[in-house]
Amino acid sequence: MRLFSARGRRTSGRFSMGTLRAAAILGGFFTLTVPLMPVQAALLRVSPRGARQFPNWYHRQVCRLLGVRLHIEGEISPDRPVLVVANHTSWLDIPVLSAVAPLSFVAKKDVARWPFVSTLAKLQRTVFVDRERRSAVGETTNEMTARLAAGDAVVLFAEGTSSDGNRVLPFKTSLFAAAKPPARAGERPSAQAGSDVVVQTLSLVYTRLHGVPINRAARPLVGWYGDMEMQSHAWALLKAGPLDVSIRIGAPIPLEAFADRKDLARRSEDEIRRNVVQILRSYPRDAEIAVTRPAGGFAAASASGGRSVFR
């Protein structure tokens, strides 16, 4: 009975510490965020440059508050408009990527209806996409073209949804239509978004929790996908402890170097898939890894002497 009681007390203590941690982070988040929302709203009206830069500073503070440590290889080009193509694991990707560089995002229209989150997304100048209406592609294309012409860096989550973090889902070529629409008669392809636009891949993997490597079974603690409920998932993740995330940014490639949206999707997917495998297996960036894109299911990827991490 004494042993049982001791174990019970230890379990209760761990639970209490996790709950206190989550409550403290949540309180700190709202204390930081609410007073700064009018600041960003004002910047949107009077200083476009400030409105791009301020969320980057803000999200670095959010990551510190959450205990998220960023390990970044490469950088987003600071002096050119950039289409950033990224894999997507969790709602946590938004503050993490926003802490890397001044970025805005392409999101499904449903996000514009989420309480509080929609306000934050709009303040960060999110481009909302209505995937149910084909006619909306033209509107999105115009908005993305305008953003890129203004020198913005815009993030596209090319899988179209989030995953458990153990794999990269097949990229949806339709999502690239706004960035790389078919050329109209007599128009050069590069004229649609500006010949100075570059594409950079961004590969993101959550690697450690409390300094301990996250294994395949534990990775869904961070991944938010399927029918997971956001509030309960966020609360569990806040209770869990500090995280390490590895981010690998690819070299800039001119948008006009891609033949069409399918070429852009294919080459970006291959690079991100290879980087994710390397990070998951702690391989160096130049390690030779054969990656096979899936025909419809999950990917199969192999490294010399190893098993598939996507099986």
57-66, 128-137, 141-150, 152-161, range with greatest mean pLDDT: 57-66
The per-residue pLDDT for range 184-223, each reduced to its tens digit, is 545 554 445 556 899 999 999 999 999 999 998 888 889 8
Q: Rounded CA gap, 309 and 214, in Å? A: 14
Q: Token digits for 17?
A: 């510490």
Predicted confidence band at 307 (pLDDT cuts at 50, 70, 90)?
very low
Per-residue pLDDT at 303:
37
The per-residue pLDDT for range 38-91, each reduced to its tens digit, is 999 999 999 999 999 999 999 999 999 999 999 999 999 998 999 999 999 999
Give the range among 109-113, 166-170, 304-308 with minimum mean pLDDT: 304-308
Expressed in angstroms, the distance from the first to the final Cα of the chain is: 44
Residue 144 pLDDT more than 80? yes
Please compute the mean of the pLDDT values over residues 254-273 and round it to a whole number: 94
Please compute the mean of the pLDDT values over residues 18-28 and round it to a whole number: 94
Per-residue pLDDT at 300:
38
Q: Rounded CA gap, 67 and 25, in Å? A: 9
H/E stretch holding 146 reads: helix 136-149
Inter-residue long-range contacts of 121-126, CB under 8 Å, 24+ positions, other chains counted: 123/37, 123/40, 123/41, 123/44, 123/55, 124/40, 124/55, 124/98, 125/44, 125/51, 125/52, 125/152
Please compute the mean of the pLDDT values over residues 245-251 and round it to a whole number: 97
Q: Rounded CA gap, 101 and 60, in Å? A: 10
Residue 94 pLDDT more than 60? yes
Predicted confidence band at 308 (pLDDT cuts at 50, 70, 90)?
very low
Domain boundaries, given as residue ranges, for the chain:
11-283
Predicted confidence band at 257 (pLDDT cuts at 50, 70, 90)?
very high
Q: Token digits for 265?
A: 């999707």
- Measured at the alpha carbon of residue 102, what is the angle toward residues 100 and 105, in degrees to the nearest 5? 95
Q: Please, what is the average pLDDT of the chain?
A: 83
More confident residue, 287 or 10: 287
Residue 4 pLDDT more than 80? no
DSSP 48-89: HHHHHHHHHHHHHHHHHHHTEEEEEES---TTS-EEEEE---
* Domain formed by 11-283, architecture: 3-Layer(aba) Sandwich (3.40)
Please compute the mean of the pLDDT values over residues 115-142 and round it to a whole number: 79
Pairing of strands 198-209, 253-254: antiparallel
- Residue 173 phi, psi (nearest 5): -65, -25
Predicted confidence band at 164 (pLDDT cuts at 50, 70, 90)?
confident
Per-residue pLDDT at 183:
60
Per-residue pLDDT at 181:
73
